Amino acid sequence: MGLKDVRVLQYERRGPDVELMVEQVVEDVRCPGCGGPAQVKERPVVRYVDLPVYGAPMRLAWRKHRMRCPQPGCPVRSWVLSDHRIAAKNCLLTTRAAKWATVQVGTGRTVSEVASELDCDWHTVNDAVTTYGRALLAADRKRLNRTSAIGLDETAFVKAGARNRKDYATTVADVDNHQIIDILPSRDYAEVAAWIDKQPPAWKGRIRFGALDMSDAYAAVYSVVLPNAAQVVDPFHAVALANRCLDDVRRRVQNEQLGHRGRRDDPLFQVRRLLVRGEERLGPEAAGRLVSLLELGDPGAEVAIAYRVKERLRDFYATADPDEARTLLEELKRHCLKRAMPPEIQKLGRTIRKWFDKLCNYHLAKVTNGPTEALNNLVKRIKRIGFGFRNFENYRIRALLYAGKPNWRVLGSIVVR
Give the binding site for Zn ion (CB under 5 A).
31, 33-34, 69, 71, 74, 76
Q: Nearest distance from residue 71's CB to Zn ion, in Å?
A: 4
Comparison of 1 and 76: residue with beta carbon closer to Zn ion: 76
Residue 358 exposed, middle or buried by CB count within 10 Å (0-12, 13-18, 19+): buried
Comparison of 69 and 328: residue with beta carbon closer to Zn ion: 69
Comparison of 31 and 92: residue with beta carbon closer to Zn ion: 31
Number of neighbouring beta carbons within 10 Å of residue 26: 13
Report the C-alpha gap between 366 and 126 in whole angstroms: 39
Q: Under DSSP, is residue 60 helix (H, G, I), strand (E, B) or coil?
A: strand
**Which residues make Cβ contacts (< 8 Å) with residue 201, sequence separation at least 6?**
none
Bridge partners (DSSP) of residue 151 are: 173, 211
Q: Nearest distance from residue 81's CB to Zn ion, in Å?
A: 15
The one-character DSSP state at 56 is E
Q: Nearest distance from residue 201's CB to Zn ion, in Å?
A: 49
DSSP string, 160-199: SSGGG-EEEEEEEEETTTTEEEEEES---HHHHHHHHHTS
Q: Nearest distance from residue 31's CB to Zn ion, in Å?
A: 3
Comparison of 33 and 52: residue with beta carbon closer to Zn ion: 33
∠ Cα 225 231 233 (to 5°): 135
Q: Nearest distance from residue 36's CB to Zn ion, in Å?
A: 5
Comparison of 34 and 240: residue with beta carbon closer to Zn ion: 34
Report the C-alpha gap between 192 and 184 in whole angstroms: 7
Q: Nearest distance from residue 32's CB to Zn ion, in Å?
A: 8
Comparison of 28 and 265: residue with beta carbon closer to Zn ion: 28
